Amino acid sequence: MPDLLTHYAISLLITVIALRSYLSVIVALSGLLPDIDAFLSIHRSPTHSLLLSAPITLISLYLYTRNMGSKLRKILFLTSTLYTLHILMDLAWSPTPILWPLTDQGYYLSIDISGGRVGDKISISASINLVTSEHGIGSSSGGPLIDPHTWLISLIIVFISLFMLKIIVRRETRSI
Ligand SMILES: [Zn+2]
């Protein structure tokens, strides 16, 4: 699974671009919510079900599009979207029970990219498959808080997001 810092970095970048306010720093924390199950010493619990999160995201999108000017609806939409994005990121890493309660089984995305040179042409092909795993719900006890392989790039994304946020807020304050 992506570590908490990676989840937060991606959530912060999206929130800064969408919300353009210092509130972004707090709203981005919603991208960590599915891992609240780690406090129960399990991971990949029903908090990682797309069947539960996707309808909430669609409802919040509907509410947001009915009143685009409402900051509260925008925050609700962002919060539910970041929650669902967390599940999709986990899905690309390891088995996740996205179809709970229909099944306890975990699923993950198998991504294969291959390429080669054929004559004077270079060919690249990619395939993405949704694979069923024998590791189902609660099979993972959680990953690291900070992954030694990704912490640096995640930290850079956090700093870039905060720098962008500072510029955005300064510009909008001047234009008032
Ligand atoms: Zn997770």
What's the CA-to-centroid distance between 35 and ligand 1, angstroms? 5
Structure tokens at 4: 């908490």
Tell whether 58 is covered by a domain. yes
> According to the model, what pLDDT value does residue 150 have?
87
Q: Are 165 and 24 in contact (CB under 8 A)?
A: yes
Tell whether 127 is covered by a domain. no
What's the CA-to-centroid distance between 10 and ligand 1, angstroms? 14
What's the CA-to-centroid distance between 117 and ligand 1, angstroms? 38
Q: What's this model's pTM, rounded to 2 decimal places?
A: 0.85
Tell whether 109 is covered by a domain. no
**Each residue of 59-74: pLDDT tens digit?**
999 988 888 778 899 9
| 39 φ/ψ angles, rounded to the nearest 5 degrees | -70, -20
- List the chain residues with pLDDT less than 70: 1, 41, 43, 136, 138-145, 176
> According to the model, what pLDDT value does residue 38 have?
78
> According to the model, what pLDDT value does residue 1 have?
66
- What 3-state class would DSSP assign to 98? coil
Tell whether 168 is covered by a domain. yes
CA-closest candidate to residue 63, choices 84, 41, 78, 49: 78
Tell whether 130 is covered by a domain. no
Q: Total structural domains in the chain? A: 1
CA-closest candidate to residue 83, choices 63, 61, 66, 62: 61
Give the type of residue at 104: D
What's the CA-to-centroid distance between 67 and ligand 1, angstroms? 31
Tell whether 64 is covered by a domain. yes
CA–CA distance, 1 with 93 (Å, rounded to integer): 5
What's the CA-to-centroid distance between 93 and ligand 1, angstroms? 10
Q: What angle do CA 130, 5, 84 make, to 5 degrees?
A: 40
Residue 62 structural domain: 4-102+136-174
| Strand partners for 112 | 127
What's the CA-to-centroid distance between 65 and ligand 1, angstroms? 28
